[in-house]
Structure formats: structure tokens, C-alpha cells
Structure 1
Amino acid sequence: MNNLITGLDKFNNVISDVFCPMSCKSLPGYSSNAFKGELSSRSFNKTAFSKISSGPIIANRTKEDISRVSDAYYLIKFQMEGQGIIRHNNREAKLDTGDFVICSSVEPYELEFAKTYKQTVLSIPQDTLQSMFHSPDDYLGVRMGNELPTHGILSQFVYSISQRMDILEPDSLQNMEANVLDLLITSLKAEQKLKLKTSEISETSPEIHLQQIKRFIDLHIKDYRLSVDFIAQAENISKRYLHMLFKGLDVSVSRYIQQLRLAGCYKDLRNKEFNLVSVSDIALDWGFGDVSHFYRCFKSQYQVTPRQIRLKAKV
């Protein structure tokens, strides 16, 4: 797919179709009608590569935009030329040429480009990346600087592919896709090691560490894998220490997770937008693996059944 796009509204529509719904606006002093951008995209086996460039712009992925599409993707944004600012997951990443950042299509984020720029975007289904690396959400909005050797090698390789992806044979692209994914996982593991080395959080600062654990749980609350083992491994701490952190809350880790999931189900059951979604599907979406167990927990928590909550909301 190749596009030379004139006008901000048209550009907004095209990138919303290729990536996910977005809300774009031009910077003060720049005409929306005179706005120009370019986009080319190619789908591979598991992923898709897109080259994008345009004039100055601010693009927001809002909660309203997220509600318009259910597909979950990670968007790895490589800065090929110019500079950009990405605000995501309460973080701000300032990208120079050769840097990259990970964004999630199911979370709000903002992109700002004060001048013309070029990016290559690698789109990966959420399940695909999570099966290869257990906690990519921990790195949403984190600048992956090209000064780190693994990041620089990955960025250069992606740049080389993007320059030639229109002329490469499909078989060659499939092989290169596997190499890109391998390099991406290598980069994430390198970033993980760097995080552990530079982290200010240790077992001597339990209050700060507890807040980090709670943020991690919030990010992964719909992931059926979320458990004591999953958290301990992701945070590189012992299960004993994790249980100790929650003692001050007078609730176990598992119960804390369950309460958040039940609250999420309760909210959806009262939301008329979910009237056509079955109770079972809502429970599964919030990470409950056993629907019968969900019904028992819900009744114990709220003294009413999920169906009664839904009926009451319809009145």
C-alpha cells in the first residue's frame, strides 16, 4: 500500500485505517489543508511494516479512539529522521534518529512532531509479542536509545528493510521478519537488565516497590497469566517478598487481583454498551479462567448475581 496524502483530515483517515483510530491535529501556525504526508505499508507473516512521514503534527490515541476497535497490537516506532516526542503510560520519550519506542493500541498515547520526520512502524499482535517476551507492557513509552548496542543494531536493520521492502521477495521478507523479532526480544532483554541495574527500588524500600507492583497489576489485570508466580518473575523478586509487601494491605496478592477483576466485571455489567456481550465473555475478558468460579466470587463480593446487576442497570 502506498499513499501520498494531502490534507490533514485525509491523512488522519489513512493512518487510522493502517494502524488504529487516531485523532490528529496540526501545530499552531500550520495549515491543515496544506498538510502533506506519505505512507507505505506491507504485511508479512506475523507483523506489518509501515513507513510514515509528514509535516508537523500531534496525533492522539484517545480512549474514544480505542473504543472503536478491539484488535490489540504493539506498535514499535523507529525514528528514521527528525525528532519526536511520545507520551505513553505516564512516560515521555524524546526520540532522535535511531531511537525507538513501544506503544500499545489498547492504551492512550500521544505523538508530537514539531518538524518533518520519518518513522518506520512495526506492528505486532499483542499475543505474538507476549508469547516471546513476558512483560512488554513494562516498556511502553520507554525510549530505547540507539546508544545501547542492541537497540542500535535493531534500528539499523529495520531501516535497511524499510528502504528495500518494496523490492524484496516474499520469502526473503519472511526470513527477515524472524530476524527482526529475534533482535527485538534481544533488545527488550537488554533493556530489562539495564532496568535492574539502575532501578532505585530495592527490598529496603517496600512502600515504593508496592506501588510499582500495583501499577504492574493494573497493566496486566486482564491477562489470564497474572499470578504470584508471574509477578515475581517479572519483577525479579521472590514470592515470599511479594507476599510480605501485601501484608500491610490486609489482603493477599491473589485476592487483590481478584477484587480488581470483579470490580471491572461489575462496571462492564452496568455499562449498556456491553448489553450484547455475555456475562461469561466479560468474565473471560477480565482474566477469569473458570466462569463458575467467577459467579461464586461475584456473589460473595456483591451479594447479588451478575445477571441481577445487569437487569438492574437496564431499568
Structure 2
Amino acid sequence: MTTAPTPVPTPAAADLGGGAGTSGTATPEARTSRATPRRKRGGSRAWLAALPLMLFFLIGFGLPTVAIAIGAFTTSTDSPGGGGTFTTANLTDSLQGAYWTALFGSVKLSLLTALIGTVVGLPLAQAVVTSRFRLFREAVLSGSGVLANFGGVPLAFMFVATLGNSGEVTKKLGLTKHGWNLYTFSGLSVVYLYFLVPLMILTITPALEGLRVQWREAAYNNGATVRQYWRHVALPVLLPSLLGGFVLLFGASFAAYATAEAMVGSSVPLISMQIGDALSGNVLVGQGNLALALGLDMIVVACLVMAIYLPLQRRSAKWLA
């Protein structure tokens, strides 16, 4: 005489209570209802974790921006009519005369150095990524991290001592006979490239590492040359990242102050030095609000550049993810 085996409750049935009429597997609605509260709690904790960064951003960037915007449209305390009244004269003056020349000079210098830094930094970063020597790779990336943050008066002193009119390299190679002058627009561009090219290497290296080997192999298997692979596959994917690096280099050059001030002074008109002169009263006293208007011009230029970069960066993330 045989007896029927006793059914063993499944773990899913035990989780659901194991009562009569209960299915042995959890329904999708049940799984969703149990997972949703966890997502909500995780999302709330994520916002709490990001709260200190948001506060830091609001205090470090938001409040100064608001103060600059308010000061740019108000009169100075030293004005004849008293301070604190609304005016557009500061913004109008910041776009005329020597201030407009300085703004145009800063934009031209930033565009030139950012373009050269991007063109030179890309092949150097590619050489680092494809290198078989790990020690060489780490040394270049570490050195780039140091040089990208090397600026100010020490950088100006180094170039004056080496490539200045009485610099060691200038005298030994006779560069002055060939028209070389460090204290010009071209000389300042060379100095800026000293820290912009390493910055580009650090910026574009992660994007180059995101290029998949399968893409290159598929291109070569279909008869593409190295030039065709870079033109039709690699560069279109890297274009948003390249533009992002260009924007970063543009911002670093556009905001640089100490190096240019220590090396060329007022011989090369730049907006950052005009702001410094207005705040310190080197030219005219009581131009603090005009300096704020010049700072607002810089913010507007930076926002316009970022407005071009952000949409392309989202497009690049889909390919490099």
C-alpha cells in the first residue's frame, strides 16, 4: 500500500504566508510593491548624501554670483548720487573702450590656447593609453596632474628665467635675433600651453579608454584604414569629450590671472587684469561695481560655452557607457 508524498511548501509560498489559495510564486505586482519602498528610501538617502555638496555649491558659487549680479546693476558708494541705486552704466562701460578690448583679448587668447591644447593633447593622450609600459603611463599621468596645477608667479618666474629677454635658453639659442619676445601675446600663449596640454591629457584619457576594441577590429575587418577608423568611428564618438576638454581649457585660460599679471602686466590686455585693476583702484578709484560688471561678462561667456557643451556630453555618454 503506497501513500502520496506530502507536498513541501516552496520558499515563495512561505514568503507569501503559505495560506490556502496562495500561489507558489510571487506575482509581479507583489514584487513591485515590495521593491518600491526600498527604492524610495534609497532615493531619499541619496539626496541626503548630496545635500552637503549642494550647500557648498550654493554658498561657494550661488551667493557670489548673486552678489556680482546685484553689484553690476547698482551704483557705487563713491558715486556722486550715492550708492545702491539701479543703473546699467556699469554693464555698458564694461563693453566699451579698453574693457571691451580686454574682453576680446581674453576670449582670443583662450580660444587659441584651448584649440592648440586640444590638438596637441589628444595624440599625446592616445600615446599614453596605447603604451605597453605601465610605468611610463603612470609617470605621464602623474606628471600631468602636477603640471596642470602649476601656475601663478612660479610659472612666470620659470619662463622669464629660461625664455625671457635675458633667459638662459634665449641667450644660448639667440632667439631674440629671430623675433622672439616672451612678453607678448604669443609668448603668453606658450606659457599657458605649459599647463593646458597636461590638463587636456588628464581630461581626454578616460574617453580614449572608453573606445571599445571591438569597434576598431570591426572597422579593420571591413577594410577600413587607420585614418578611416579615426575619421568615421573614433572622432565622432570622442567629439563631445573633445569639446568638453576644449571648454575646460578655455575656462582655465580665461580665468588665469597671476601668471599674466606677473609676466606681462598691462602690455597684453586681459579682462582678468582689468578686474584686478578696478578692484584695487590702480587706474580709477571707486570702480568696484564696474569690476563686478566685468565679472558678470565673464560669467555670461562661460555660460554660453557650457550651453554648447552639455547637450553633446549627454550624447557621448550613450556611446561610452
The bucket for the TM-score relative to the shorter chain is under 0.3
Larger relative contact order (CA 8 Å, sep ≥ 6): 2
User: TM-score, normalising length from structure 1?
Assistant: 0.22
User: TM-score, normalising length from structure 2?
Assistant: 0.21
Name whichever structure is richer in strand by fraction. Answer: 1
